[in-house]
Amino acid sequence: MPVNIGLADTSNTCLLIAVLLYAVGTLAYAGDFAFARHRLLAGLVPIPAPAQAAAPAPVLVGAGPAAGEAEAAGPAAARQAAGYDSAAGYDSAAGYDSAAGYGSAAAGLRAAGVTQPDGGLLADSPAVRSGGPPAKPRRGPAGGWVRTAFGFTCAGLVAQVASIAARGLAEDRVPWGNMFEFIAAFTCMAVIVLVTASVRFRAYYLGLFVLMPVVLALTLDVALVYTPAGSLVPALQSYWIAIHVTAMIVAIGLFIVGSVVTLMYLAAARHERQVAAGLPSRGGGIIAQLPRPAVLDRLAYRSVLFAFPVWTFGVMAGAIWADHAWGRYWGWDPKETWSFITWVVYACFLHARATAGWRGRKAAYIQLAGFVCLMFNVVGINLWVNGLHSYAGLG
């Protein structure tokens, strides 16, 4: 079937619009870190009120350090003094898990003089005065910068989905038959994971760090890897492409977000250690606005936990497709070999997470090693290594 040139041009235009919208969203996320007065870390961490910073606050029994001490030690200590870092008060990437968590933090918040997002003392809120837990904040993004950034992110996602759909309709096939289409597809999946995590876990702080590599990848994709719309090569003309490659796209999108969060976790953990040791920390202004390392570590682990079985299914589907196409399930082709290596490294990461002595930084390094293997498999094999999958490269 001939290519619909009009739809192909529409697809290209939508992709360029998506890149532009993502770039503006990235700048807005950066503006939130640089200029926003109130940061809701992990969706729920307020900051000390400027008027209260210099005044001593009464200390309640069991409430932790006084407000002045906590604020002088930085946001992490203020959160700890307020009870935000207790198991009951801050136990998930989504923020508080229960009304009990709110109640356990109320006394510490009164002592620390911590403000609500609207600037008022939490201890002065009607819910706390009445003895009940404060109401949970809205689930949407808080602050003009974040709302703007998230709006541009969602608009860019719509434009990119429209681009992929138009490309598929123009070619009358699934639109991931070459490197250009594949990069557009898995970056789109990464943004879908970002938007889902932002809404589900109030993890809007991820936007800057996920969109930057997405914008870079799409820019290189359009500038260097662009392939005009066309028909599939005969080796790819199978319904298995919709099964095998789709599974790989979903897994790669999840792995990308997981690796970004892992880098954030390592930076936050290093910052926390330096602050605890009284040492200066580079980038502390940005890192201090992120959730605690334990929250980031959990979120990265969840990303891999979802991605790994999808990747496993994709490898199995690829083996079945190989039997249909070449008469054997596995032939140690470079693509197959590195898919298996990637699977092994991520399996080691999940095993390390279940082993007490290898949790934390050691497990994070294993995850990043798995991501390096993944990127070499996705990009390096297609560009630099000849094999049975070479037709999935640039043309």
269 and 390: one domain? yes
Is residue 186, in this structure, part of any structural domain at all?
yes
**106 or 203, greater pLDDT:** 203
**345 or 78, greater pLDDT:** 345
Is residue 44, in this structure, part of any structural domain at all?
no
| Residue 61 confidence (pLDDT) | 38
Q: How many domains does the structure of the chain reveal?
A: 3
Output the CA angle 27-30-32, nearest 5 degrees.
115
Distances (CA, A) of 289 to 35, 179, 218, 256, 352: 12, 37, 28, 22, 28
211 and 359: one domain? no
Q: Tell me the range of 193-207, 280-294, 375-389 where mean pLDDT is highest.
A: 193-207
Q: Over 50: is that where the pLDDT of 105 sits?
A: no
Which residue, of 182, 212, 232, is where some domain finishes? 232
**4 or 127, greater pLDDT:** 4
| Residue 138 confidence (pLDDT) | 57
How far apart CA 308 and CA 364 sit, in angstroms, is 15
| Residue 139 confidence (pLDDT) | 61
**143 or 364, greater pLDDT:** 364
Q: Over 60: is that where the pLDDT of 99 sits?
A: no
| Residue 40 confidence (pLDDT) | 43
Count Cβ neighbours within 10 Å for each residue of 210-222 and write b for 16 or more, e otherwise. Answer: bbbebbebbeebb
| Residue 393 confidence (pLDDT) | 52
| Number of Cα atoms under 13 Å in the Cβ half of residue 394 | 12
239 and 121: one domain? no
Q: Mean pLDDT over residues 304-328, rounded?
A: 94
306 and 362: one domain? yes
Which tokens is 320 given? 């079945």
Q: What is the CA radius of gyration of the chain?
A: 24
Which residue, of 210, 232, 254, is where some domain finishes? 232
Is residue 134, in this structure, part of any structural domain at all?
no
305 and 384: one domain? yes
| Residue 284 confidence (pLDDT) | 64
- Residue 357's CB: how many other CB atoms inside 10 A? 8
376 and 258: one domain? yes
| Residue 300 confidence (pLDDT) | 95
| Number of Cα atoms under 13 Å in the Cβ half of residue 228 | 6
375 and 393: one domain? yes
| Residue 384 confidence (pLDDT) | 81
90 and 169: one domain? no
How far apart CA 374 and CA 383 sit, in angstroms, is 14
Contact 289, 39 (CB under 8 A): yes
How far apart CA 266 and CA 80 sit, in angstroms, is 20
pLDDT digits (tens, 9 = 90+) for 74-93: 444 444 443 334 333 333 33
Is residue 141, in this structure, part of any structural domain at all?
no
Distances (CA, A) of 363 to 253, 343, 359: 20, 15, 5
pTM of the model as a whole? 0.77
Query: What average pLDDT is seen over the chain?
Result: 79
Q: Return the residue matching tokens 């974040």.
A: 146
| Residue 127 confidence (pLDDT) | 43
Q: Which of 24-33, 134-143, 203-212, 360-369 has the lowest mean pLDDT?
A: 134-143
Which residue, of 181, 216, 232, is where some domain finishes? 232
pLDDT digits (tens, 9 = 90+) for 227-281: 999 988 887 889 999 999 999 999 999 999 999 999 999 999 999 898 888 887 7
Q: Mean pLDDT over residues 90-116, rounded?
A: 38
Is residue 41, in this structure, part of any structural domain at all?
no
How far apart CA 349 and CA 392 sit, in angstroms, is 29
Contact 341, 373 (CB under 8 A): yes
Helix 207-224 and helix 179-201, axial crossing angle in degrees, nearest 10: 170
**What is the extent of the structural domain holding 71?**
50-129
Residue 338 makes CB contacts below 8 A (sequence gap 6+) with 373, 376, 377, 381
Output the CA angle 162-164-166, nearest 5 degrees.
65
159 and 22: one domain? yes
How far apart CA 240 and CA 246 sit, in angstroms, is 9
Count Cβ neighbours within 10 Å for each residue of 132-159 and write b for 16 or more, e otherwise. Answer: ebbeebeeebbbebbebbbebbbbbbeb
Closest CA to 106 of 76, 81, 139: 81
pLDDT-derived band at 133, boundaries 50, 70, 90: low
How far apart CA 85 and CA 77 sit, in angstroms, is 9
Is residue 39, in this structure, part of any structural domain at all?
no
Is residue 140, in this structure, part of any structural domain at all?
no
**235 or 321, greater pLDDT:** 321
250 and 395: one domain? yes
1 and 58: one domain? no
225 and 243: one domain? no
pLDDT digits (tens, 9 = 90+) for 324-337: 988 899 989 999 99
Is residue 102, in this structure, part of any structural domain at all?
yes
